[in-house]
Structure 1
Amino acid sequence: MVKNLLILILAFLLFSCKKEDENFHLKYEVLNQLIAADISENKASGYTEEYLYKISKPIDLKFREKLSEKKNEIIEPTPPSSHGIIYLPENGTFTKDDLAYIKIQIKTNSNFVLDTAKITSKVEFIDTEKFKKFQKSQEKYLSVKDYWKKFREEFGDKCLRNYSIPYFNKEKNICIVINSISCGPLWGGGETSVYKKINGKWKVIKTFNHWVS
């Protein structure tokens, strides 16, 4: 009886793990394509800045499309945060079922740890724990210049290239990614991008929530 119970528990755990990782390979497929595209574009343009890559985990998502108006003033949406909220466009790209499905992914991905061995391009990733400690230590600095001076002392003269974990619709043929690049004071920008898998490649079909600094 006890043996059968243990078998059932093991089977349940195995099933749960499998369900949690159902987009595992797709995540790395998208990330590998985006990173490879960075390298290719930089070579083509002669861009020489070195990147430190960071993969972030958004904590929530909502639908938002139109800018709101208040007292005849247009209120711009806040810049997207790779570790904050994903704002989905209400243009039919994502359905309410997709929204619910992505919310599940956000919960299951809370423990996601990047396996750099699965990244096919030779790039450098920032040490996540070291970066967290650095961020906390810099809370007392008000100057952006001071922040970047300390950043370069700690991590070298490099730009921080950030992608969020890709999140997929139910059909797994469309995903959404927040991306940004920061190289110093008044040298940064980002956007939220929607990709669709077409002929085996993830193609951008929409970008929004653009920001620059």
Structure 2
Amino acid sequence: MKLSIFVLVIITSFNGFSQPLPSEKEIYDLAGQFIHGTDSTRVLLSKHSDKRTIYQDTSAFLHDTTYFSEADFAYFRLQLKGKDNFKWDQGRFKNVRTISQSKVKWIFRDMKGWKRFHKKYPKMCLRSSSIPLFNVDKTYCIFYQAVQCGGLSGQGSTNIYKLENGKWIYVDSYGMWVS
């Protein structure tokens, strides 16, 4: 019995990389650099990480060897699978509230969605972000962010950042959109 448990632990902890999946601390350290409000501007963040867009934009960067290796691409896929149900915790960001996916769907159930949204959340915009996907040595990452304030008032992109002197610096972008 002890041998079976030991083998199960070894199998489930091995992911093919010497590097473990990014920790919540690493995810929130990066995201905290970009997701925050101020004392006068509060942010409403979709609680569920935006998987749909990062999956769509994945096809663009999974073939670009400018910044990433084949090992990095495999590590990205592993992170996408391993953090599939990730949800943002509002207590980890300053002046940020989270909103559930079911509440967003209820608010935007018809053409009156933005009117309903602004009545319930005056002077706020809706923000969504993916989990950051780190390369194997965690010196680069890919991070999708979007903000929408109305039907034709929004923008988003999947960006590449490089870690320099403890800060994530913008390097490049995939799949930018504006409405």
* Correspondent of 2:126 among 160, 176, 181: 160
> What pairs up with 1:166-181 in 2 under 5 angstroms?
166-181=132-147
Q: Which has the larger radius of gyration?
A: 1
Per the alignment, residue 70 of structure 2 pairs with 96
Whole-angstrom distance in 1 between the partners of 2:152 and 2:95? 25
Q: Are the aligned partners of 1:57 and 1:110 in contact in 2 as well (CA < 8 Å)?
A: no
Deviations 1:50-72 (A, max 9, x none): 3212352425xxxxxxxxxxxxx
1:83 deviation in Å? Answer: 6.7
> Which of 50-59 and 168-177 deviates more?
50-59
* Correspondent of 1:51 among 25, 43, 55: 43
RMSD, aligned α-carbons: 3.0
Deviations 1:101-155 (A, max 9, x none): 10111000112233334x2x42223221xx424415644x2x3xx2201222344
Whole-angstrom distance in 2 between the partners of 1:198 and 1:123? 26
Whole-angstrom distance in 1 between the partners of 2:80 and 2:131? 9
Unaligned stretches of 5+ residues in structure 1 = 60-80
Whole-angstrom distance in 2 between the partners of 1:49 and 1:83? 30
Per the alignment, residue 72 of structure 1 pairs with none
1:10 deviation in Å? Answer: 7.0
Whole-angstrom distance in 2 between the partners of 1:84 and 1:132? 22
Whole-angstrom distance in 1 between the partners of 2:121 and 2:141? 31
Whole-angstrom distance in 1 between the partners of 2:7 and 2:178? 51
Q: 1:150 to 1:16 in 2, by over 3 A?
A: farther
Q: 1:16 to 1:51 in 2, by over 3 A?
A: same
1:97 deviation in Å? Answer: 2.0
1:12 deviation in Å? Answer: 3.9
> What number of residue pairs does the alignment pair up?
173
Per the alignment, residue 117 of structure 2 pairs with 151
Q: Normalising by structure 1, report the TM-score.
A: 0.67
Unaligned stretches of 5+ residues in structure 2 = none
1:167 deviation in Å? Answer: 0.3
Amino acid at match of 2:13: F
Whole-angstrom distance in 2 between the partners of 1:158 and 1:98? 37
Whether 1:196 and 2:162 are equivalent positions in the alignment is yes
Q: Percent identity, aligned pairs only?
A: 28
Per the alignment, residue 112 of structure 1 pairs with 86
